[in-house]
Amino acid sequence: MADAPQEAGSREQGINDIRGVRLQKLEALRAAGIRPYADRFERSHTLAEARAAAEEQQGEGVESGQALTIAGRVMTRRAFGKLLFVHLQDGSGRCQIVLDASEIGEEPIEQFQTYVDLGDHIGVSGTTARTKKGEPSVWVGTWTFLSKALLPLPEKWSGLADVEARQRARYLDLVSNPETRERFRFRSRFVKEMRRYLDDHAFEEVDTPILQTKVTGALAKPFITHHNAMDMQCVMRIAPETWLKQCVAGGMDRVYEVARCFRNEGMSPAHLQDFTMVEWYAAYWNYQDNMDFTEALLLHLVDTLLVSRQVEVVGAEGETVTIDFDPPWPRISMRELILRDSGIDYAELATADEVRAAIRAKGIRLEAEGIDKMSRGNLIDQLYKKVSRPALVNPTFVTDHPIDLSPLARMNDDDPTRVDRYQLVANGWELINAYSELVDPLDQRARFEQQMDARAGGDDETLPIDEEYLTCMEHGMPPMSGWGMGVDRMVALLTGQDNLREVTLFPLLKPLGVTETLDATPPSPVEAEADAAADDAREDRASEDGGAETMSEENRTLLGHPADDVEDLGITEERARALFDEHVKSESLRRQMGQASIVMGALARKLDKNEAAWRLLGLLHNLDFDEVKEADRHCLVTAEILGREGVHPAGIHAIAAHNDKGLHATGIRCISAMDHAVSAAEAVVGLIHACCQVLPSKDVKDLKLKSLRKRFRNAKFAANVERDLIERCAGAGVELEDFFALAIEALQQEPLAEA
């Protein structure tokens, strides 16, 4: 038997060292004539079945046991005299196996200890029995090597960094955490049971296109792509709605689709850009029939898949909240909700300007961008999301939306300003959106034209006219009601998750260490033309706003160029601190810049960037703030100073870009990961400081994550803090929730030195 090197028990020797040892074991296996990667293995039982058989047998010894063949991944092992106890894991669970030298001899055990590491897969033939302590086990007769793992399994999954690590390496999360496996199995059971219920109620499942030639089905920004063979621009679907309604027009009275959809919108724990939704449409129903069916369907799913109709979930502030699914669920109009929660009666406000003025008069700050260009319907929607939706905990049907928010829904017969529509909301999340569908082609065309007017006014979350769909409508559609539900959001709610990535097996994450696009192929002539047209459009918009989109040579020389990182910032820490002491005098500013430096260092460590450089950017980013009071000059003086010092142009750009609003006329924009990091770090320390001031101790060590999260959402708290700058953390590749935790942890672990 060939000798194999032994792997040290400590992970401190490093992953690469462990891999090197395991590669040597791999060669030793081959030298011993053992295949390290088998092609198959025939099992008679899963590990759960094997454990159950051992639990059910009458006697404890192998003589009364059941012969079987099992396989799995080695998760633990420990030697005790001539016995070796090992836990195997497969998709069904775990079961202990026992290698007993008195039964099989010492050589098989010696081979096991020589070649097998945690994480390897093996096959076993043996007999069920119980240990002296009563543990159901399988006594090994023979074992077979099936697959060699070259990297070790994780030892722990906890803390800030590991949230992202679990999402990046979900396979390790599944191996290590049974609750993760159960959560995704719940998701599978949820979709399977929902399909069964719909099938049992005469619905037919269909597939509709993902690639489309125009945006249709919902108000959202699309992902845009290019179809090379047809040489045309396409969009990824944002909803399957119009296709499914065409199926109903064709005589398929009840249809549904489990559809992957794509919306190029903001990142948050409650929103994914690519997600799974279910939509269905039923001929001859209205939205009242729809509500009745929806309540019955979801109650069936809750009763079938959960043990209680009272479900504990994570609330908006991280607290545990109990949702009661017992019927009947309240039904209340959007108008009543908003009037109750804000004092604004939008039915009395005929235009977008009137709605905007009423919102401002009440001192309500909406979180979305582009408020000044939003249509009336989208303003009402943003107001509802701000003042009403977060307070809806138990399942609630929000009904009767304004007509200009629902271009595909049927006008109410009694009130032409609203539509027959509802949303199901629970725990502040919109779970379901449903209509009595609009089947009047002339009314539909008028709605599309209103949407185009809003688009011309600058609202880009509007629908273009869909002539093909209108043609279908003019051939005749039956009365119908439709329904859409986000699967990710519903599963997150029912499994107590507050982040949709925790119910998505492989969520999209920014690649570590990647600063360029994956495809470096030069664009085709058509793509180049499309890019040029997009550039022209951006320049047109910029000129309308009174500023240039591209920088002049003079500004480029002064303000530098963007880059995600620098190898050498071009200035020593000693010189940077001398500049800091020379130009920064106020104690509050010295504190703010020092804390920004600490947060920048933490971001650099997380993103594997140049920590020393990023820290100095945080220290220098407001170098001229005490001396320059004009917003359109702030950072220009800093750029001049740092340019004379020989600081890297990308570092100067990152500092200047955090004031891109004030320097709009220069054309500078926040582009790179480093740009976004400076903006986010600068703003978040301001919010954290404000949060600390309301604590009895005023000490950051007493600040909790949920408190910071709550204060961030309250726009009236520390209103001077630019929350949109904090959200730029996403541009650096860090989710908002993770960024908050990272910033708090960094400031708690690294007290600020005396300024």
83 compared with 555, residue with greater pLDDT: 83
User: Can you tell me whether residue 579 is helix, strand or coil?
Assistant: helix
Query: Which H or E run includes 593?
Result: helix 587-607
Q: Give the integer Cα–Cα distance in Å for 702 and 522.
A: 53
Q: Report whether pLDDT(429) > 60.
A: yes
Say if CB 637 and CB 714 are below 8 A apart.
no
Could you read off the pLDDT of 634-689 as tens digits, one per residue? 999 999 999 999 999 999 999 999 998 888 888 898 999 999 999 999 999 999 99
Residue 72 confidence (pLDDT): 97
Non-local (6+) Cβ contacts of 543 within 8 A are 549
Say if CB 680 and CB 610 are below 8 A apart.
no
Non-local (6+) Cβ contacts of 368 within 8 A are 374, 382
- The token duo for 66 is 């059941």
Q: Which amino acid is present at 520?
A: A
Question: If you average pLDDT over residues 418-440, what whole number do you get?
Answer: 92
The radius of gyration computed from the CA coordinates of the chain, to the nearest angstrom, equals 31
Residue 415 confidence (pLDDT): 92
Could you read off the pLDDT of 242-263 as tens digits, one per residue? 999 999 999 999 999 999 999 9
Say if CB 344 and CB 366 are below 8 A apart.
no
Residue 162 confidence (pLDDT): 64
Say if CB 559 and CB 666 are below 8 A apart.
yes
Give residue for tokens 């039982």: 45
Q: Which amino acid is present at 105?
A: G
What is the pLDDT of the chain when averaged over all its residues? 87
Q: How is 218-234 classified by DSSP, letter by letter? A: SSSPPPEEEETTTTEEE
Share of the chain above pLDDT 90, in %: 62
Alpha helices, DSSP H, located in 148-264: 160-168, 170-176, 178-200, 241-249
Residue 145 confidence (pLDDT): 97
Say if CB 664 and CB 582 are below 8 A apart.
no
298 compared with 693, residue with greater pLDDT: 298
Q: Give the integer Cα–Cα distance in Å for 15 and 84.
A: 26
User: Can you tell me whether residue 505 is helix, strand or coil?
Assistant: coil
Residue 436 confidence (pLDDT): 93
Residue 253 confidence (pLDDT): 97
Buried/exposed 310-332: b ≥16 CB within 10 Å, e otherwise: ebebbbbeeeebebebeeebeeb
- Model confidence at 520, pLDDT cuts 50, 70, 90, reads very low
Q: Verify cis geometry, omega within 30 degrees of 0, for the bond prior to 328.
A: yes
Most confident of the following: 118-127, 207-216, 628-637: 118-127
Q: Which amino acid is present at 248?
A: V
Residue 491 confidence (pLDDT): 95
User: Of 397, 430, 191, nearest to 294 (Cα)?
Assistant: 397
Residue 60 confidence (pLDDT): 67
- The token duo for 374 is 């939003």
498 compared with 38, residue with greater pLDDT: 38
Q: Give the integer Cα–Cα distance in Å for 453 and 464.
A: 10
Share of the chain above pLDDT 70, in %: 90
On the CB side of 312, CA atoms within 13 Å amount to 4
Could you read off the pLDDT of 677-724 as tens digits, one per residue? 999 999 999 999 999 988 888 899 999 998 898 889 888 888 889 999
Residue 303 confidence (pLDDT): 96
Question: If you average pLDDT over residues 553-575, what whole number do you get?
Answer: 88
Most confident of the following: 2-11, 193-202, 407-416: 193-202
CB neighbours (10 Å) of residue 218? 22
pTM for this prediction:
0.66
User: Of 734, 660, 723, 661, nearest to 687 (Cα)?
Assistant: 723
Compute CA distances 159 → 166, 178, 602, 603, 745, whole Å.
Answer: 11, 18, 15, 16, 11
Question: If you average pLDDT over residues 273-298, what whole number do you get?
Answer: 96
Residue 735: phi and psi, rounded to 5, are: -65, 150
Residue 255: phi and psi, rounded to 5, are: -135, 155
Q: Report whether pLDDT(443) > 50.
A: yes
Q: Is 183 exposed, middle or buried (0-12, 13-18, 19+ CB in 10 A)?
A: buried
User: Of 157, 187, 92, 176, nearest to 501 (Cα)?
Assistant: 187
